[in-house]
Chains A and B, each alone.
Chain A
Amino acid sequence: MLDGVGTVARLGLAAVWFVSGGIKASDLNQTYIAVQAYDVLPSGVVSVVASAVPFLELALGLLLLLGLGTRLVAVLSAVVLLAFIAAISQAWARGLSIDCGCFGGGGQVAAGQTAYLQEILRDIGFLVLAGWLIVRPRSLFGLDGWLTGRPAAVVGKE
C-alpha cells in the first residue's frame, strides 16, 4: 500500500519534471527571458541557468521514471523546487510583475496578472511529492528495489 503511494509520488513528480523541462527545453530563448525577468542573477549567470535548468529537470524526470537513486533524486528535486519558491517569493516581495515561467512562458506580465500565490502553492504541492520520497523512497517498478536487493525482491535459497 505505502509502496503504491510512493510509486504514484515518484511517477507524478517524474511527469512534472518531464512536462516543465520539455516545454522549457523546446524554447530556450523564452526560458532565458523568463530567468532574466526574475532580475536576481548577473547576466552571464542568467544565460547558464536558463540553459541548464530545462535539462536538469528532464534528467530528474528520467531518473524518477526509472526509479534510480530515488531518495537522492527526491532531495535534488526538493532543492530545485525550494530555489524556485525562493525566486518567486523574492519577485513577489519586490513587487515585480512577472510570470514564473514554471511551465513555459515567463517574463514580464501586466501588474494585475501575476499569480505568485498559486505558483508557490503549486510548487509546495510538488514539494510534498518529493518529501514523501525522501522519507520513504521505496516504490514499485523501480530500479532501486532491483539493484539494492530489498527483501521482497530477493529470491534466496534457505
Chain B
Amino acid sequence: MGRTRRIPLPALAATSLVLVTTALAFVFFVAPNDADQGFSQRIFYFHVSLAFTAYACFAGGAWNAFRHLWKRDPRSDLRSYVCVHQGLIFGTLVLLTGSIWAKISWGRWWIWSEDELVLFLVLYLFYCAYFMLRFSVDPGPQRANLSAVYALFGVVLIPVSFAAIRLAKSLVHPEVFTLHGPNFGGWILVTYCIAQVAMLVLAYTLYRLELGAKRLDGRLRRLREVLA
C-alpha cells in the first residue's frame, strides 16, 4: 500500500484552514477598494480563483481519465470521478459567485455577455451529465470506460465552446454589461494569489478526503463480501 511522500490529511486540512482564513483576511481588509465598484467587487477574488480551481479539477479528471484508458491504471477511475465531483462542487460556487457579482455590478442575477461565465455554464451542464451517466451504469469496467471517455470529451469541449461563444457574441447585439475585474497590480495581485492558492489547496484537501472515504467504502464492502 506504499503511498510514498503523501502529505497527511490532517496537515492538509490545517493548511487549508490557515490559507482560506488568510485569503479572507486579505480580501476584506488588505486589498484596496476598486475605484469603480468599491467594496462590492471583492467577490471577484473568489469567483476567479474558484473558476480556475474548478477548471483544474476538470483537467485532473480528464488526465486521470486518460490514464485509465491508456495505462489501464486501476486507481485512475475513482480519482477521475472524485476530480470531476470536486469540479462540480467548485463549479456550483463559481456560478453562484458569478451571479452575485453580476447582481452587484449590474443588478441582474445572470449576464449572457460574460464569455467566461457562459462557457462555464456549458461545461457545468456537461459535467452534470457526466454524473447522470455515471449513476446510470452499474459499477464495473464499462462504467469506468464510459466515464473516462466522456470526461475526455469535456476537455475537448472547452476550447470549442470558447470559440463558439466568442462567435456567438457577434450574432447578438452586444450587451454593455460586462464584469470587469480590477486592474492587477500591487496588493490586488498578492490578494488574488493568496486566494487562488487557498482555493487550490482546499480543493485538493476535499479531493483527498473524498477519495479516502470512497476507497475505504470500497474496501469495507469487499471485506464484507469475503466474510459473507
Asked if A pairs with B, the answer is: no
Binding site for B on A (CB under 8 A): none
